[in-house]
Structure formats: structure tokens, C-alpha cells
């Protein structure tokens, strides 16, 4: 006959209670009302922040941009073909950001800062908001130093200064991209980092540009951000933000940085 002692039972129960770790996790959730054309309308998400990342039930990530009284407009970071009306959405509590590191030099990535060149993942221990406050006027230095493009016509007649913006405009097929890529090729050994973004371009065109950079050794100081013509419009929209965030990362580490948008039309 088995003898059960009351003190042993109480000790076991006490140990189990002490070992019990109850975690309460509060999740801000909502429901998909409508989805289409890269935009989803969400009911709920009452405490979502502007620019906050949200995660859909099937794994797609979105950014809350339009906050209204009865719904939230979310931009989908992907095609969102598997998202259905009535599916659940949860807020992540994180503002839209991308990983950044020195390892991005020489790589080809998409608007989500994911590598698309088939060379494996990119290690990054830091992240940066895709929209950061710009430095104030007082903290900026006036444009005083030229950026040598290597193109005699530009450097002699309309020189570009470090710290300024320059528009390259013209008809189709007259060589606007050639001017930008030649400037990158001519900066070898000048301690300048380039971030080149191809927005809505053909995949063959981007591959040709990357091949040219690799053959000339320019990929050592260049990052290529590419969203092709068949990419969702939302990803093409965010590609310039990703490029700017990467360039700012190097800028704040005292590197001269040039951003090239090809193109913003």
C-alpha cells in the first residue's frame, strides 16, 4: 500500500508554483477590411503609430501610413496575394527600419535591404529608420568642396559641390544613366561611397550596370538598391528611402557619400 504524505504533496505544489512563469503579452491586433493595389485597410490597431511595421497573418509586412478614425491604411511590403479580407493583423511596435552595416558595400539589395545578388545573407548588427530627422541648418556646412566627376564638361562648366543636389534631365536614350555611372567609375580611390538605386528598371539593365561596376572595380565602394519594373509599386516607392538610410549610415561615420536615383520620374 502506498503511503502519501501531506507535507510531500504540499512541497511539490509549492515548487511547481515557484517555477511557474506566467508571461502576459499584450498584442495590438486588427482585421483586414479591404486589400488591393498594394494597400490594405485595417479595422482595429487602435494604438498603432504612424510608420509602424505591422505583420499580416500570412507573414507579409506592411507599414501603417494613413491613420483614420475608423481604419488604418497600410502599405504592403510585397505583393500580398495571400492576404484575405477578415484575416488578422498585428502591430509590431517597431517603426519602419532597415539593417545597416559596412557589409553592404559591394552588394545588390532590394528595398527591404535583402540581398538579391545570390551571394548569401548580409550580417548587420545595427538598424536605421528609413525616415530620420535631417540635420538642422546650423549644423550644416556650406558647400565649399567640389566633387570631381571625371567628366571634363561638367567639372569645368557646371561643377558639382559636395553637399548639393543635382538634377540630370533630358530625353530618353541620350545617356543620363551613362553620366551617373561614369561618375561612379571615376571615383575609384577617392574615399567616396556611392549608393545607386534603380527604380522600375528592367532586370537586364540593372544586371548590365552591376557587371560594369564589377569589371571596373567600382563595386568595392558602391551599393546597388534595385526594384525592377515588375516589382510592386510600394517597394519601388520605398527604394529611395532605403538608399537614403544606407547613405546616412556611412555619412555619420565620416564617409563622403553620393546617392544616385535612377530614376525618379
Q: What gap in Å lies between CA 209 and CA 225, rounded to an integer?
A: 12
Residue 265, exposed/middle/buried by CB under 10 A (0-12, 13-18, 19+)?
Answer: exposed
Q: What is the pLDDT of residues 153-172, one digit of tens each?
A: 898 998 999 888 989 888 88
Question: What pTM was computed for the model?
Answer: 0.82
Q: What is the pLDDT of residue 220?
A: 94
Region 208-218: what's the mean pLDDT?
Answer: 94
Question: Does residue 2 carry a pLDDT above 60?
Answer: no
Alpha carbons within 13 A on the beta-carbon side of 161: 7
Q: What gap in Å lies between CA 148 and CA 129, rounded to an integer?
A: 31
Cell numbers found for residue 241: 528611402
Cell numbers found for residue 117: 545578388
Q: Output helix, strand, coil percentages for the chain, rounded to the nearest 5.
A: 25, 30, 45
Do residues 53 and 61 lie in contact, with contact meaning Cβ atoms separated by under 8 Å?
A: yes
Q: What gap in Å lies between CA 109 and CA 235, rounded to an integer?
A: 12
Enumerate domains of the chain plus CATH numbers.
29-95 (2.40.30.20), 98-262 (3.40.50.300)
Dihedral-angle region of residue 217 (phi above 0 means left; psi in -120 to 50 means alpha; beta otherwise): left
Q: What is the pLDDT of residue 123?
A: 92
- The count of other CB atoms within 10 Å of the CB of residue 255 is 14
Q: What is the pLDDT of residue 195?
A: 96
Instruction: Tell me 218's DSSP state.
Output: G
Q: What is the pLDDT of residues 47-72, one digit of tens each?
A: 899 889 999 998 889 999 889 988 99
Q: What is the pLDDT of residue 78?
A: 80
Amino acid at each position: 500500500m502506498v503511503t502519501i504524505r501531506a507535507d510531500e504533496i504540499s512541497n511539490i505544489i509549492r515548487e511547481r508554483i515557484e517555477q511557474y512563469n506566467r508571461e502576459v503579452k499584450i498584442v495590438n491586433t486588427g482585421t483586414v477590411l479591404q486589400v488591393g493595389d498594394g494597400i490594405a485597410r485595417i479595422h482595429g490597431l487602435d494604438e498603432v503609430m504612424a510608420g509602424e511595421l505591422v505583420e499580416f497573418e500570412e507573414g507579409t509586412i506592411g507599414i501603417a501610413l494613413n491613420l483614420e478614425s475608423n481604419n488604418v491604411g497600410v502599405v504592403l511590403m510585397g505583393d500580398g496575394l495571400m492576404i484575405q479580407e477578415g484575416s488578422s493583423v498585428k502591430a509590431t511596435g517597431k517603426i519602419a527600419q532597415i539593417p545597416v552595416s559596412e557589409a553592404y558595400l559591394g552588394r545588390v539589395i532590394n528595398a527591404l535591404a535583402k540581398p538579391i545578388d545570390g551571394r548569401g545573407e548580409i550580417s548587420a548588427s545595427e538598424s536605421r529608420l528609413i525616415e530620420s530627422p535631417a540635420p538642422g541648418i546650423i549644423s550644416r556646412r556650406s558647400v565649399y568642396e567640389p566633387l570631381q566627376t571625371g567628366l571634363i564638361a561638367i567639372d569645368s562648366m557646371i561643377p558639382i559641390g559636395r553637399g548639393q543636389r543635382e538634377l540630370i534631365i533630358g530625353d530618353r536614350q541620350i545617356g543620363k544613366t551613362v553620366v551617373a555611372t561614369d561618375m561612379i567609375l571615376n571615383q575609384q580611390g577617392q574615399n567616396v561611397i556611392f549608393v545607386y538605386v534603380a527604380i522600375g528598371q528592367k532586370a537586364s539593365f540593372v544586371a548590365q550596370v552591376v557587371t560594369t561596376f564589377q569589371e571596373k572595380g567600382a563595386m568595392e565602394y558602391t551599393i546597388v538598391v534595385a526594384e525592377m519594373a515588375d516589382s510592386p509599386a510600394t517597394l519601388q516607392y520605398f527604394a529611395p528611402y532605403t538608399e537614403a538610410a544606407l547613405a546616412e549610415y556611412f555619412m555619420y561615420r565620416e564617409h563622403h557619400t553620393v546617392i544616385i536615383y535612377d530614376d525618379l520620374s
